[in-house]
Amino acid sequence: MTNNSSQSGRQPDADYIIVGGGSAGCVLANRLSENGKHKVILLEAGGSDSRFWVKVPIGYGKTFFDARVNWKYQTQNDTGTGNRSMYWPRGKLLGGSSSINAMVYMRGLAHDFDDWSLKGNDGWDYRSVLPYFVKSVDSEFEDSNYHQKGGPLHVTRTHNEVHPLCSHYLEAAKEFGFNVTDDFNGANPEGAGIYSITTRRGFRESTATAFLAPARKRKNLTTITHALVEHIGFEGKQATCVTYKKNNQQHTLYAAREIIVSAGAVNSPGILERSGIGRKDILEQHGITPISINNNVGEHLQDHLAVNYVYQTNVPTLNDQLNSVTGKIKIGINYLLNRRGLLSLSVNQAGGFVKSHQQQPSPNLQLYFNPLSYSSVRTDKRELMKPDPFSAYILSFQPCRPTSRGSIHIGATDAEAQPLITPNYLSTNKDIKEVLEGCQLMRQLVNTPALQQITEKEIEPGDAFSSDEDLINDFRERCGTVFHPVGTCAMGPDAASAVVDSRLRVHGIDGLRVVDASIFPNITSGNTNAPTIMVAEKASDLILEDAL
């Protein structure tokens, strides 16, 4: 890449400036500073991840609405979901959303990445990206073709820790004809199983703890928190500097080699737009001088939607433990003494990838099974320790590869202003069809002997919802995001259809890349944190190759 120092007339502050210390940014900070040859600055709008409820896995219920660590976004009212505005939590601290998420470690399915490659992105097929998944983990699984021990990110098997109710779910899956898999990230990901999570010795494992913390002692890495990036500066088509605000003061840093935007699918397009890269009408609307017109910035937004089906049981569930003072004390003591039990787990204990019908070429639904419920709990705090006052469990699903596309654009030039998030959910017939199939599948699964044995009645949506129209309308009214926004700076071979190329360089601009979930050409079938980490691992190699 071009060295910027001779153009700017100022001594550069670093070789690489990374904008965003989240799931991708922390990985980049580690890998780009690893060889000691390059000076790296990491800018994060939020603060430290050293908080009790960030470290304790079940604490993500506490951080769900905490403005100190959460951007707390709201979407525009969306016709596909009953004209509702949906709440989108996003991490605003070191580690980003990996510091506040539900910790499920899920890479997705092989064809997700093969599809990336088929769209003209050479080197992003599953066989090519698998080594980067493997490189990033310290896994408790043994299959060396898909896992390794000793990598930065610890992945914990929870098979022996989950609630006994999960065995009824797995037996129901078998009775229904689904495969039961031991490893969603191995050779046979299809079927029902127990989720693995990103924890280490009972504490949350984020990219801040796994990647950034070991690197922060390096003299060539500087981390600046509470640094809200306003825009990127250019000389011609060359990105040269980053301007950010901290403590109400404006600062500008210059990069000798590259600026890497890793602010996530919500914030990365806004940074590009405020910097003059985006749709002409958006830039003109806000009086921003165009640097490069690209009609794809902020477009192609994709996300997963899910709905809970809640069932009352005739056997105890986690609800009973959590609604008992004695139960809570036992849970707390177990965690304090052993770092085990409920406080060390995700609420999403089991699930799987399944086909809604056998004619499907690949799994098109992801399932979740939670041995507790919140149907009657309607608060603004998401209190995971305060479930329904009766024994119950949740079955839920999300369509894996929705075809609806939305957008995210700036609502003002002020970096503190909320972006305009327009999900455009359920805007295709295919998505509506898969929603209906998923709703029908929930009831079919519950009708298996294994679940009928423990199930008394359906609480939500309830027997009154029986027709296809009822089920679709119920989904529209009750569904929620699974917090997987991607695609707003999509990767592709040219600027006519994408924002970045296959090396994640912004089309038409030198010295600027985007590295985070916004570059996904299509959403992956499952949870998006693991593939975001993979993207950053691969991007680090691409960046260092280009530095030679």
Instruction: Convert the pLDDT of each residue in 213-253 to its tens digit.
Output: 999 999 999 999 999 999 999 999 999 999 999 999 999 99
CA-atom Rg of the chain in angstroms:
23
The catalytic residues are 484
pLDDT at site 73: 97
Distances (CA, A) of 155 to 149, 194, 198, 206, 485: 10, 13, 5, 11, 23
pLDDT at site 1: 42
Distance of alpha carbon 394 from the chain centroid: 21
What percent of the chain shows pLDDT beyond 70? 97
Confidence band, pLDDT 50/70/90 cuts, at residue 191: very high
For the chain, percent helix, then strand, then coil, each to nearest 5?
30, 25, 45
pLDDT at site 376: 62
In the chain, the domains with their CATH numbers are 1-74+89-158+197-301+485-548 (3.50.50.60), 161-194+305-399+426-478 (3.30.410.40)
Residue with tokens 């590295």, as numbered in its chain: 515
Mean pLDDT over 59-70 rounds to 92
Distances (CA, A) of 293 to 249, 513, 517: 30, 16, 22
pLDDT at site 548: 85
Q: For the residues of 296-352, what is the DSSP string, one character each?
A: TTT-SBB--EEEEEEEEESS--HHHHHTSHHHHHHHHHHHHHHS-SGGGS-S--EEE
Residue-wise pLDDT tens digits, 84-128: 999 999 999 999 999 999 999 999 999 999 999 999 999 999 999
Mean pLDDT over 424-430 rounds to 98
pLDDT at site 467: 97
Q: Mean pLDDT lowest for which of 6-20, 143-157, 176-190? A: 6-20
Q: Is the pLDDT confidence value at 433 over 50?
A: yes
What percent of the chain shows pLDDT beyond 90? 91
Mean pLDDT over 4-19 rounds to 79
Mean pLDDT over 62-80 rounds to 96
Distances (CA, A) of 169 to 270, 330, 412, 459: 42, 25, 48, 18
Element (H, E) at 251: strand 249-261
pLDDT at site 78: 97
Mean pLDDT over 477-504 rounds to 97
Confidence band, pLDDT 50/70/90 cuts, at residue 377: low
pLDDT at site 9: 65
Confidence band, pLDDT 50/70/90 cuts, at residue 5: very low
What tokens were used for 541?
């190699």
Q: For the residues of 95-108, what is the DSSP string, one character each?
A: TGGGGTS--B----
Mean pLDDT over 390-398 rounds to 97
Q: Mean pLDDT lowest for which of 321-325, 361-365, 407-411, 532-536? A: 321-325
Confidence band, pLDDT 50/70/90 cuts, at residue 2: very low
Q: Is the pLDDT confidence value at 313 over 50?
A: yes
pLDDT at site 384: 60
Mean pLDDT over 348-364 rounds to 95
Mean pLDDT over 466-478 rounds to 97
Residue-wise pLDDT tens digits, 128-153: 999 999 999 999 998 899 999 999 99
Residue 500 per-residue DSSP state: B
Question: pTM, whole model, 2 decimals?
Answer: 0.96
